[in-house]
């Protein structure tokens, strides 16, 4: 990949303009409807602040949850509007629709300095289908468009890739920052470059591994995906998660790593349990896992080995936990890697919802060079693939 190949905010005339901004405000709520983590809202503040300073009127489009094209009362964006107003320190007008003549009139009548937040775009059935008529209806609300939703840039949705067909468009500050971070990892990084990949399914990460093997010095594999790699080597993994149809691809990845001189590190010991439960009996074993037991975290020897590789790195990218970190009994590996990244003197990028949550839960977010707001979009960049939401801006 290369740096952002799209116009930036400076290319747009903003004064007295209605500026449609596609943001990613898909934030987690607790059981009482209170936002648990407002990182994604905060990430859009530089762009929204710039538009307001330049005399423009930001009109935000966002998705929230998966309402599947129907109005779901629990997925209205009212809590987001309230928090956005607190963070901006200026008025936010939340509307109950995202298209239509009445919405146009309301926007026109809003006081100067007001940011408008439209209702959840996924209430519209055509949003996730990339419906052109819906994109045209969105475009009628603005004079120009800013793409700011990195977390949705891998989606060919109406509010992401459709609106730029009808309006002058540019990338916001967050898109610049995100693409710049991944470019720093993939284009002439400081070496050694280490990738840490975890998560449940090896099928999700094999395309990433294939692309990274041409760029990295080492890949550290953890999580459920590690057990398919181990079984491919003939190591017994008990009842651990395995994708048998991926065994040949794992062998091919190991062969490619050997051919290119890349260290592909796999767990040599494990925290195993007889069942996935917080109170299940556990044991440390490895490299083999006994029948009737399943690996649920990397073990202490592996943790030390992986942490040492991170300590030697000048650039690190991490996507995916090392175990079932939501349960304390299986969280030590992920926590140790998070601390290793925090102590690393190199450039560190963390992406993927679970990895980001683990880092945040340990209070280590500020110690990372870059925390990505888009797991799927970040993975696509690590696979060497373009993002439709950014291509559309060009």
Question: Active-site residue among 40, 76, 184, 380?
Answer: 40
Distance CA 29, CA 292 (A): 37
Query: Is 76 considered catalytic here?
Result: no
In the sheet where 169-171 sits, what is the strand order? Answer: 92-94, 115-117, 57-61, 18-22, 144-147, 169-171
Question: Active-site residue among 129, 136, 177, 201?
Answer: 201
The three-class DSSP label of residue 348 is strand
Distance CA 328, CA 277 (A): 10
Question: Active-site residue among 69, 126, 130, 376?
Answer: 376
Query: Is 234 considered catalytic here?
Result: no
Distance CA 233, CA 226 (A): 11
Distance CA 222, CA 275 (A): 19
* Helix H or strand E segment including 79: helix 78-88
If you search the block for the tokens 């599947």, which residue do you land on?
68
Distance CA 235, CA 288 (A): 6
Query: Is 201 considered catalytic here?
Result: yes
Query: Is 353 considered catalytic here?
Result: yes
The three-class DSSP label of residue 146 is strand
Question: Active-site residue among 353, 361, 384, 385?
Answer: 353
Active site residues: 40, 201, 353, 376
């Amino acid at each position: 990949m290369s740096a952002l190949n799209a116009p930036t905010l400076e290319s747009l005339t903003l004064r007295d303009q209605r500026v449609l901004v596609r943001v990613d405000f898909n934030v987690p709520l607790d059981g009482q409807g209170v936002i648990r983590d407002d990182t994604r809202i905060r990430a859009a503040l530089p762009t929204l602040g710039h538009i307001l300073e330049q005399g423009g009127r930001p009109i935000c489009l966002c998705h929230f949850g998966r309402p599947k094209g129907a109005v779901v009362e629990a997925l209205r964006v009212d809590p987001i509007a309230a928090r956005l107003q607190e963070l901006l320190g200026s008025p936010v007008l939340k509307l109950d629709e995202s298209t239509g003549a009445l919405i146009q009139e309301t926007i026109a009548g809003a006081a100067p300095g007001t940011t408008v937040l439209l209702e959840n775009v996924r209430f519209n059935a055509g949003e996730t289908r990339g419906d052109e008529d819906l994109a045209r209806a969105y475009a009628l609300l603005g004079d120009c468009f800013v793409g700011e939703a990195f977390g949705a840039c891998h989606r060919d949705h109406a509010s992401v890739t459709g609106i730029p067909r009808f309006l002058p468009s540019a990338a916001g500050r967050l898109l610049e920052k995100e693409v710049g971070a991944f470019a720093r990892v993939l284009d002439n990084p400081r070496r050694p470059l280490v990738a840490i990949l975890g998560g449940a399914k090896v099928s999700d990460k094999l395309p990433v591994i294939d692309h990274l093997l041409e760029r990295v010095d080492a890949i550290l594999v953890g999580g459920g995906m590690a057990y398919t790699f181990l079984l491919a080597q003939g190591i017994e993994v008990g009842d651990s998660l395995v994708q048998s149809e991926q065994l040949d691809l794992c062998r091919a990845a190991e062969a490619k790593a050997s051919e290119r001189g890349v260290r592909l590190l796999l767990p040599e010991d494990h925290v195993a349990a007889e069942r996935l439960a917080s109170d299940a009996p556990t044991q440390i074993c490895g490299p083999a896992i006994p029948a009737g037991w399943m690996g649920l975290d990397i073990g202490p020897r592996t943790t030390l080995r992986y942490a040492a590789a991170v300590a030697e790195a000048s650039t690190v990218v991490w996507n995916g936990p090392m175990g079932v970190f939501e349960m304390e009994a299986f969280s030590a590996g992920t926590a140790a890697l998070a601390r290793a990244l925090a102590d690393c003197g190199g450039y560190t990028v963390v992406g993927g919802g679970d990895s980001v949550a683990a880092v945040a839960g340990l209070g280590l977010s500020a110690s990372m060079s870059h925390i990505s707001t888009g797991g799927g979009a970040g993975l696509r960049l690590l696979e060497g693939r373009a993002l439709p939401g950014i291509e559309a801006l060009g």
